[in-house]
Amino acid sequence: MKDSVHRAIEAVWRIESARLIAGLARMVRDVGLAEDLAQDALLAALEKWPESGVPDNPGAWLMATAKRRAIDLLRRNTLLDRKHVELGHELESHQESAVSALDATLDDDVGDDMLRLIFTSCHPVLSPEARVALTLRLLGGLTTDEIARAYLVPEPTIAQRIVRAKRTLREARVAFEMPRPADRPARLSSVLEVIYLIFNEGYSATAGEDWVRPGLCEDALRVGRMLAALMPDESEVHGLVALMAIQASRLAARVAPNGEPILLLDQDRGRWDHVLINHGLAALERAERLADTMGPYALQAAIAACHGRAHTADETDWERIAALYDALASLVPSPVVELNRAVAVGMAFGPAAGLELVDELLSEPSLAHYHLLPSVRGDFLTKLGRVDEARTEFQRAAALTRNARERALLLDRAARS
């Protein structure tokens, strides 16, 4: 019984924690303090629900409990002690009105609060690693241990990142509010980048024993959908949701029952989630309607859509994919985009054409330790019958990757060359 209640509490927390923290942060103006109050409500649930049972509306129960804790905090002047510089004597003289305001505003629609929380947790004042950890903690509802296991780093390291991130936001006096219109494009870019970083780590893990971590993909997609609901007129938000949904549709087909990776062209497309594909295509259509020209995420979603629409690998429109990569390379030029473009060109126009583009990237410093460069080169060399060179490339790629499953795959390809 207690185990089932604890599982229910964990599920409710994943769903409700972000809403809870967002509502509290608007009033206390401190994300760290808001999370502390929300955690107090979680502890209360862990103490009471095993005896009383899960309430009919568990989210409302947590909100009511957190609200009472926040009001008690105000009445005890604890908030005054922690925030005296910002609030000073004004809070002391208007404490009762602040309590009333808190009681009322926590019942308001929290859509704007959630948006503020997303932009706060992904603020550019934080390092990318800190943004990811804080976003997973506040918006994904993950524990420190879960984040640490997902990224294969020690739990104290993640705990320190989260604590430092909260302290940085507090010391930098980052306001819990939407950025000014002039600042939104840069801030939105940071938000989208963090969400996609989380998704990518789940889709293709950089290290460890597992090639994919579906939980991270699910968390990123959920936050992306949340952002799309809150910012329905932003094309790139829908573009990112489309990209993640279409890519996530392949997760079940990317891994064999024994955990071995299955490459895109070898996957059983009957195992793709076509509901997710349709959701992704609908989001892509919306992104295209909202903008005269597609942004980077919408372009990548359009590339993913070419795969999603193809019933078999042979039906893939590689020429369109190559053209889309041309557009992406002109918009956000990078060596990784060029490598992906080389793959598309090789699939559309032959391995020799692809290899020529890959060889132009061999002197690129940023790709010197990127395992996919020799992996792609080995694939083209195999198709051209240059098996000895291909074997060397696959072995080099295996030495560079930190993912055990991918290393085994590459060594197997080397052995078969």
pLDDT digits (tens, 9 = 90+) for 289-299: 999 999 999 99
Mean pLDDT of 308-334: 96
pLDDT the model gives residue 83: 52
Backbone angles phi, psi at 272, to 5 degrees: -65, 145
Is pLDDT larger for residue 80 or for residue 162?
Answer: 162
Is pLDDT larger for residue 101 or for residue 247?
Answer: 247
Q: Considering only 84-98, 187-201, 209-223, 304-318, which range has the smallest mean pLDDT?
A: 84-98
CA atoms of 258 and 385, how far apart (whole Å): 30
Confidence band (pLDDT; 50, 70, 90) for 345? very high
Percent of the chain with pLDDT over 90: 49
CA atoms of 397 and 410, how far apart (whole Å): 7
Q: Considering only 191-205, 265-279, 376-390, which range has the smallest mean pLDDT?
A: 191-205
Q: Considering only 29-43, 100-114, 396-410, which range has the smallest mean pLDDT?
A: 100-114
Mean pLDDT of 299-327: 97
CA atoms of 88 and 86, how far apart (whole Å): 6
pLDDT the model gives residue 150: 66
CA atoms of 417 and 406, how far apart (whole Å): 17
On the question of pLDDT at 196 being above 80, the answer is yes
Confidence band (pLDDT; 50, 70, 90) for 388? very high
pLDDT tens for 220-274 read 898 899 889 888 999 999 999 999 999 999 999 999 998 889 999 999 999 999 9
Mean pLDDT of 337-351: 97
pLDDT the model gives residue 78: 53
Confidence band (pLDDT; 50, 70, 90) for 325? very high
Q: Which helix (H) or strand (E) holds 207?
A: strand 207-208
Alpha-helical regions (H) of 172-273:
184-203, 214-230, 235-248
Mean pLDDT of the chain: 86
pLDDT the model gives residue 342: 98
pLDDT the model gives residue 91: 42
Is pLDDT larger for residue 47 or for residue 15?
Answer: 47
Q: Which helix (H) or strand (E) holds 250?
A: none
Neighbours of 259 (CB within 10 A): 13
Give the residue among 202, 216, 289, 279 at the shortest CA–CA distance from 243.
279
Is pLDDT larger for residue 24 or for residue 165?
Answer: 165
